[in-house]
Each structure stands twice: as C-alpha cells, then as structure tokens.
Structure 1
C-alpha cells in the first residue's frame, strides 16, 4: 500500500506543505518551495523570500532529517535541478 502524507513545512509561506509518498520502508518527499534545492537542506541555506525566517530554518532541518533517512529515496524540490532520476518505484 502506498500512502500519501501532507506535512507542514511552514516558512517560505504560511501554508507551505510537503508531500511524503510511500510506506515505512521506502518513500520520497516532495518539498515544493520549502527551499530552492539540495543546498537548502544540506547547508541550511534559507531562500531569499520567506514568510517566517525561524519557521523556514525549522523546516529545512526537518527536510535534512528526511534526506538523511536511509528509507528516503529523494527529497524533491521545485527548483532543484540536481535530482536526475525521472521515475521512482516505491
């Protein structure tokens, strides 16, 4: 069974959300505009525009934790050109 979870990722905007797709063993996270790309969560680089700086920093820390989870296949962000995989099989 594949599950879809909508997770709050406040910061860039008040209602920013991420979508976790998959199960316990394998999943991916679609993080939209929670940051500009991989450097955002890797190095905690805040976007130039944010609704709440503190919440943005908190969300980027959460994204980093997801990305480091061995069960996470990918953290996909709207402006990220580094992810080269086109299809994920969960």
Structure 2
C-alpha cells in the first residue's frame, strides 16, 4: 500500500507539473496546483484501493490518475478568447 500511495502522489505531482507548463495562463498559482494534483491522486488511489483491495497496482494508479485529472480540471479558468459579454451589458 505504501508503494501505491507513493506512486500515486508522484503521478499527481507529475500531472500537475505538466498542466502548469502546458496551461500556465489558465491555472492559478503553483502553490495551489501542485498540492491539488497530489491530493487528488492520493484520494483516487484511496478510493480505488478501498473498492478493489490490494494487488491491483496498475488499476489503483489509473484511478489515481483519473481523480487527479478531475480535481485539476476544476481549477481551470476560461480562456480569454472565448469570453463573451452578455446581451444586457
């Protein structure tokens, strides 16, 4: 279980780092994005491990990846070019 937790935390940090370098203009500060990626991955690993039990390392890491992506997607801000003003403004 220790390797699952360590692997999922590293996976979440790597995913957050990649998101910061790919979309720096759409994400808040680095001090918020990196812990969110790691925490999302740890929570995803916990959920998957609780549902399946031990012995499914790749499936647990996949669950960690999915929840980490979902939590990082909640931090995204809309792109400037797609903002439209309302008709009443």
Q: Which has the higher contact order (CA 8 A, sep 6+)?
A: 2
TM-score using structure 2 length:
0.29
The structure in which a higher percent of residues are strand is 1
The structure in which a higher percent of residues are helix is 2
Looking at CA atoms only, which structure, 1 or 2, has the larger radius of gyration?
2
TM-score using structure 1 length:
0.29
